[in-house]
Structure 1
Amino acid sequence: MRVKEIADLAGTTPRAVRHYHRLGLLPVPPTVHGKREYGVAHLARLMRIRWLAEGGLPLAQIAEVLAQDPGGTDRDSVLGSLRATREEILARRRGLQAQEARIEELIARVEDGEGLEPIPQLLVRFYDAVQARLDEAGLNARGLRAERQVVTALAALDLVPDSINAFLAELDSTDWEAGVRIYTEIARLEQLHGDVARTSAIQLAEETWEYTLRHRRAALAAFAGFPAGAPGRTTWRLTQMITDAYTGPAQHLYLNRFLKLLMTDPEFAVVLKRLAGDEPAL
C-alpha cells in the first residue's frame, strides 16, 4: 500500500502518517520502485496508534504504551498514564463521555493483566492459544499474524461486531480445542505436497464446515454482524490480506473449498455477498 492508501484506511492523512514516522511511533516501510510500500503490520500499528489517541492519550504516552510488552509487564507505568488521562477527561466531562468509557476499558484491561488491543478479549485469548500451539509444533504463524493484524485494524475502526464474542462464548472446552486444532492444521498444510496435500486440504475444509454447522446460529450472527456498504467493502478488502498471507497451494485449496461450502448454503451466501458489496436482489 502507498501512504495515501494506508492513511485512507486508517481515517487519517498522509501528513499524520509521516508525523508518526518522525516521532518513531510508526516504522518507516521499505522502498519499492522508489516509493514506500506499507504492509498489513504498518496498518495494524497505525490503527492502534489512532485507537489510543482517540481514547485521549497524548502521543508521548502512546509511545510509552507501545514500548511496553503486549502483556503489560510494567503495569504501574501504564496504569499511571491511563489514570492520569481519565482524570483529565473527567475534568472536561461535557462532550467527552465516549473518551471516558474508552479509558475505563483500557484501565480494566491492564488491571486484568491483558494487553492494550482493541479486539475482543475472548478473541485475544483464542489467538494466543493458537500461537502457543503453532510455536509448540514449530509451524509458520504468518497467516495467524496477518489475521490478528487485520482484526486489530477492523476493531480500531469499530467494525468488529459483538456477535464475534457471542460466538466464542458459546464454545465449550472441546469446541475451543477443536478450533485451535483447525488453525494449527491450516498452518501444517504449508508443509504438505502432492496427493497428501490435496486430500488433507479437502478433508480439513469439510471438517471446518462441520464445525461451522455445529454453531450455525452463532456463526451466521457473527457474519451478519459485520457492516454493509462502504464499511463492509473495507472489511472484505482487508480480509483478502489474510488470504494473501497463506502461500502454500494446499492452504489456498483449503480456503477455496471452505468458501465454496459457505456459498452453497443460502443463508451464509446472503451474508457473504452482502459483506462483499454484492447485495442480493429482493
Structure 2
Amino acid sequence: MRVAEIARLTGTTVRTVRYYHSLGLLPVPAERGGWRDYDLSHVARLSRIRWLVRAGVPLSAVARVLDGAEPTTVPDDGAPDGASVTQDLAAALASAEAHLEEVTAQRDMLASLLERSRAGMAVSPMPPRMAAFFDRMEAAASDERTRAAVRADRDAVDLACYRGQMPAEAELLFPDPDAGDDAATLAAYGRAGAGLSQEETEAMAAAMVERLVRRVEPERLRALAREADREAIHAVFQFFASFEQLGSAYARAMEARLLEAIDHWAVSEES
C-alpha cells in the first residue's frame, strides 16, 4: 500500500509518517513500481507508535519501548546503565500526572470564574468577600481621588492574589457592609497620599485595624490568630510597600498594627 493509505488506516498524516521515518521510528519500506510499498508490519508498527504517543510517551523513548530495549550492563551500585523501558514509562507517567494536576487546577479555576460571572461578580482571583468590599468602596466614593485610591488598593490586592501571596485568612478582614465604618474607610482612602505625617499615618492605620476588629466576629478573630502565617503577612505588606502609589509608610504601619492585633487575639484565646 502507498503512504496515503497507511496514514489513513492509522489515523495520521503523510507528513507524520515521513517524520517518523526521519526519526528512525518507522522503517522505510522498499520501493515497488516507483513508490514505497508499505505492508502489514508497517501498519502494525505505526499503530503502536501512535498508541504510545497518545499515552504520553515522548518520541525520544518510543523506540526503546517498542523494541523492549533494556540496559545490558549493571554497574556496581546496582542501578541500570542508561535509560530503560521502565524508566521511560515512569517518566512519562510522572509527566502525565503533573499535567493532570495542572489541568485539574485549571478546571477548578474556570468553574469558580464561571460561577462568579453568573452571579454578576467581577472575574478576579480575589475571594468574593474581598471583591465585594472593593466594589462597595468604589461605588460609594464621592470623588476621583478617593476612587483612585480604592482602585490602587484593589489592584495591589488583586496582584497579590494572582501571585499567590495573599494569605487565605486575609478574607476575614473584609467585613460585611456597615454605613458608619464604610464612610470612615472611604475617608481614609480620601486622605491616602495626602502627605500625612508619620503620626497621622500611624493613627490612620490603627483606626483602620480597630474598625476591622470591631466588625469581625470574635470566633473569626480567634481563627485568624490560630491560622495566621506571620511570614506570609510580612511578605504581602512588603509587596504593598514596594508601590509608591500605596504609601510604604502606611503599609508598614498597617502591618505592625495588624500583627499587634493578631498577637492580642492569640493571647485572648489562650486565656
Q: TM-score, normalised by structure 1?
A: 0.44
Q: Which has the higher contact order (CA 8 A, sep 6+)?
A: 1
Q: In terms of Rg, which structure is larger?
A: 2
Q: TM-score, normalised by structure 2?
A: 0.45
